[in-house]
Amino acid sequence: MSASLSAGNRRGNALRIAGFVLLWNSGFIGAEFGLDYAGVYTLLAWRYWMLVGLLGLYLGLRGQLRWPGSHAAGLTALVGLFAHGVWLSCVMVALEIGIPAGIVALVVALQPMTVGALSGRVTGERSPARAWLGLLLGFVGVLIAVMSRARLDETVSPWLYLVPFGAVIAFTIASLLQRWIEVSSPGDHVPVGLALFYQALATAAVATVPAIWLESMSTRWTLEFIAIQAWLVVAVSLGAYALMWQLIERMDATRVASLFYLGPPVTMLMAWIAFGDTLQTSDLVGLAVTALGVMLVYRTLAERR
């Protein structure tokens, strides 16, 4: 019985991983489209107020909308501000000011390295040397896939290339804080659906301030924009984030973070399928090397458990 349960858990996690990778990386394409219709903070504000409404309705109908306590709610909101608000703001601001998407993707892919380096101190889940080798291999795969496409724009100040590093810092903090809650403060655990509600509420409230102040909430409403927002809200903010937190509940932070290495090559594959973008040989090589690195991390840490 225990063997069948273990096999079922592995299959379940494999499905969660595949769903997370596909839905998460579709968000980059959706966000880039969305910037044609609204500014960064306006796009975030509309997206997260819509998400708050949907989650509030769903949880209310199921009788699950409740106050988890000020401490648990505060921690959950803080995780959300870093994982949603700051992370997405940095990525979209970087794209909006003209930093090449390949460079943004490369910088964001540094997150697994920072999580791996810090997780031992924060959660006590130290990564063995072979897992670090997998992380480094994954980073090499990202370099192969992204650097062949990246072109530095001399019109952009070098200092502006620090913007996407804010996304790395923000999501590292969010990942480690959420895992710390699961490992060291289980009393502050909030169920995934309710946690997403409070994370979305905090993000929407904070994003609305610069959306009004800097962008006057200016929005070009079209059917295309509504469709983009619907995808970002339902598939990415609901689907991908829910899967990610479920994975963090079940796995150590380094294994979950290593999935972000698949971002640049998977996004390139999506762009090829959706828009007919030319797929270079280096993209396929990078994807293969990255997959090997991620596999090495997962096998190593699974054996340790």
Between the alpha carbon of residue 74 and those of residues 55, 77, 86, 87, 159, the distances in Å are: 18, 5, 16, 18, 33
> 12-21: which pairs have CB atoms within 8 A and are 24 or more residues apart?
13/247, 13/250, 13/251, 16/243, 16/246, 16/247, 17/247, 17/259, 19/239, 19/240, 19/243, 20/240, 20/243, 20/244, 20/247, 20/259, 21/259, 21/262, 21/266
- Nearest to 193, CA basis, from 282, 64, 74: 64
Structure confidence at residue 76 as a pLDDT band (50, 70, 90): very high
Q: What is the pLDDT of residues 100-151, one digit of tens each?
A: 666 777 778 777 777 766 766 666 666 678 878 888 888 888 888 777 766 5
In this prediction, residues 259-286 reach a mean pLDDT of 79
Residue 260 DSSP one-character state? G
Q: What is the pLDDT of residue 204?
A: 97
For residue 184, how many C-alpha atoms fall within 13 Å in the half-sphere facing its CB? 13
In this prediction, residues 78-105 reach a mean pLDDT of 85
Q: What is the pLDDT of residue 148?
A: 74
